[in-house]
Chains A and B, each alone.
Chain A
Amino acid sequence: DIQMTQSPSSLSASLGDRVTITCRASQGISNFLAWFQQKPGRAPKSLMYAASTLASGVPSRFSGSGSETDFTLTISSLQPEDFATYYCQQYNNYPYTFGQGTKLESK
Chain B
Amino acid sequence: EVQLVESGGGLVKPGGSLRLSCATSGFIFSDYTMNWVRQAPGRGLEWVASISGRSSYIYYADSVKGRFTISRDNAKDSLFLQMNSLRAEDTAVYFCVREEFSDYFDFWGQGTLVTVSS
Range of interface residues on B (Cβ < 8 Å): 20 to 34
Is B74 part of the binding interface, using a Cβ–Cβ cutoff of 8 Å? no
Q: Whole-angstrom distance between the alpha carbons of A66 and B24 in the complex?
A: 34
Is A55 part of the binding interface, using a Cβ–Cβ cutoff of 8 Å? yes
Residue of B61, B104, B105, B108 with highest tally of chain A CB at under 10 A: B104
Residue of chain A at shortest CB distance from B47: A96
A-contacting residues, B10-31, CB 8 Å: none
Given contacts A43-B110, A94-B50, contact A89 B45 (CB under 8 A): yes
> Shortest Cβ distance from B115 into chain A, in angstroms?
16
Range of interface residues on A (Cβ < 8 Å): 20 to 34
Q: Which of the 9-residue segments A10-18, A19-27, A71-79, A98-106 touches chain B?
A: A98-106
Q: Is the interface of A mostly helix, strand, loop or mixed?
A: loop
Residues of A within 8 A of B100 (CB): 49
B-contacting residues, A72-100, CB 8 Å: 87, 89, 91, 94-100
A contacts, CB < 8 Å to B: 32, 34, 36, 42-46, 49-50, 55, 87, 89, 91, 94-101
